[in-house]
Structure 1
Amino acid sequence: MRNIKLTIEYDGRRYLGWQRLGDSEKTIQGKIEGVLEQILGEKIEIIGSGRTDSGAHARGQVANFKTASNMDLTEMQNLLNRYLPRDIIIKKIEEVHERFHARYNAEGKKYSYYIWNEVIPSAFEGYHTYYYPEQLDMDKVNAACQRLVGTYDFIGFSSLKKSKKSTVRTVKEISVEREGSILHFTFVGDGFLYNMVRIMMGTILEIAAGKLPIETIDEVFAKKIRANAGVTAPALGLFLDEVYYPENN
């Protein structure tokens, strides 16, 4: 059996997220599996590096699947991009070691989140940015970002009710750049809990808008209570940019 690794780009507006559900036609995983089964003539199950939320996007989602087919990889990529919807693109396809696992071998991820920070909304950027017209104190933005960097139990910054697995994560970087009317936030870490980036983003915004004190972050870490953090920012501004793997993968 061959083990095939995919690097995938998609616009998540029309979909219920990555993970295949009962109605697989409305998920990214379901769409890709459906096309693979048609072109390869066998049952296919793809393994993603992790879930993305309903409405969220990706520039560098990674997945792998096993196949008995000997089809040339360039042909396979061309057929996938021909028959998949135009908002799902296979950017790269490669054969990897049989033990490669897109989820278990991942060492970290990089996300972007985009804010449209103007009084007047944008007709063009509205599908890929969160319209947030409030005036933001950039000193508070940067201070909140830095306070979230480090190794902590992030359960209070997630939508998980409880978990048998560790909820300790290391956030290596949170930075922000202004690109015209858009604030581009970058989040890099060894892993992220369910809705963690979106809740951190909502908390940063509420602190910068003067709705929450910056000490809120310390309180959430100490008490581990989700309700003490800020709102969950919408999925439409979120992009999975890259998944990191060991060099030998």
Structure 2
Amino acid sequence: MRNIGVKVSYDGTNFNGFQSQPYGRTVQDEIEKAIKHLSGENIIIIGSGRTDAGVHALGQVFNFHTSSTIPTERWAIALNTRLPKDIVILDAWNVPDNFHSRRSAKRKTYRYTIDMGKFPDVFARSYRFHHPTKLNAEAMAEGVRHLIGTHDFTSYTSIHSTKPHHIRTIYEAYFEQEGGALHLYITGNGFLYNMVRVIMGTLLWVGQGKLKPDDMKRILEGKLRSLAGPTAMPHALTLMDVEYGEGGVADHLNSSMDEDDE
């Protein structure tokens, strides 16, 4: 029995999220069906976290245990021939038996993209939130810096969060402009349900002048969801990367990543 780690990318447009659901199409279901067709095994994969309906991934990670004799280096190619075109396996590698893609993870990075053009980019409309009126990007950049560090993010998560606590650490949070696109990159040790999208919705209020940059700190300290802005649309959010430490996957026992639910 081997434990295999896999890196996968997917376009979340036509999925009801990553995790298997009683209804709707999910990334997990499609991958598990492909494994069944390939090896004949009924396997439940373990994702590094759940992404919500409409959210994309460039660097989602999952692992699974298999008795198949298929060489590890062949899994990516073999699965891609059996997967729909909106899912692509990027890599597969052997991991220790006790490696767990969620519990072993140390850092995750998300990107949220705003299209600031007068008219939406028709080719990027599935991956960017179109905001045609002027935004103060400098104020937004100043505002998001208040969230860096270890905090209780109750104000910036859904009221439906089921986590026992809302304390998370944000290592990096910054904006980059690329032509008419404004990207928020945010890296943390874990993310709560809708956390990045609520942060982005609140930062849009900062960019519109409805809030001051310092209000991001006030809202954070208030620990009330009602203080923050709206939940931004899911289609502009992408899980970019999941990291497992400088020592690679073998270093996973030192991690305590909480499952995210973006």
Shift of 1:125: 1.3
Residues 143 and 215 in structure 2, CA contact (< 8 A), matched pair in contact too: no
| Normalised TM-score (structure 1) | 0.95
Q: Which amino acid aligns with 1:204?
A: L
Stretches (4+) displaced over 4 A: none
The aligned residue for residue 217 of structure 2 is 218
Q: Which amino acid aligns with 1:178?
A: Q
Alpha-carbon distance change, 75 to 233 in structure 1, aligned in 2, over 3 angstroms: same
**Structure 2 CA distance, aligned partners of 1:242 and 1:155?**
24
**How far does the alpha carbon of each residue in 1:98-120 deviate from its partner, in whole angstroms, 9 at most, with x for none?**
01000111111011111101221
The aligned residue for residue 12 of structure 1 is 12
Shift of 1:177: 1.2
Tell me whether 134-143 or 101-110 shows the greater mean CA deviation. 134-143
**Structure 1 CA distance, aligned partners of 2:34 and 2:193?**
28
**How far does the alpha carbon of each residue in 1:219-241 deviate from its partner, in whole angstroms, 9 at most, with x for none?**
32222111110111111111111
Where do 1:57-136 residues align within 5 Å? 57-136=56-135
* Percentage of matched positions with identical amino acids: 38
Shift of 1:172: 1.1
**How far does the alpha carbon of each residue in 1:75-113 deviate from its partner, in whole angstroms, 9 at most, with x for none?**
322221011011100000011100100011111101111
Q: Which amino acid aligns with 1:244?
A: E
Q: Which amino acid aligns with 2:143?
A: A
**How far does the alpha carbon of each residue in 1:132-171 deviate from its partner, in whole angstroms, 9 at most, with x for none?**
1121112211111211212110011001445452211111
Q: Which runs of 5+ in 2 are unaligned?
A: 250-262
**Structure 1 CA distance, aligned partners of 2:206 and 2:30?**
39
Q: How many residues align?
A: 248
Where do 1:96-245 residues align within 5 Å? 96-161=95-160, 163=162, 165-245=164-244
**Structure 2 CA distance, aligned partners of 1:217 and 1:228?**
10
| Normalised TM-score (structure 2) | 0.91
**Structure 2 CA distance, aligned partners of 1:242 and 1:163?**
24
**Structure 2 CA distance, aligned partners of 1:100 and 1:27?**
24
Tell me whether 67-76 or 85-94 shows the greater mean CA deviation. 67-76
The aligned residue for residue 256 of structure 2 is none
Tell me whether 174-183 or 70-79 shows the greater mean CA deviation. 70-79
Q: Which amino acid aligns with 1:183?
A: L
Shift of 1:214: 3.0
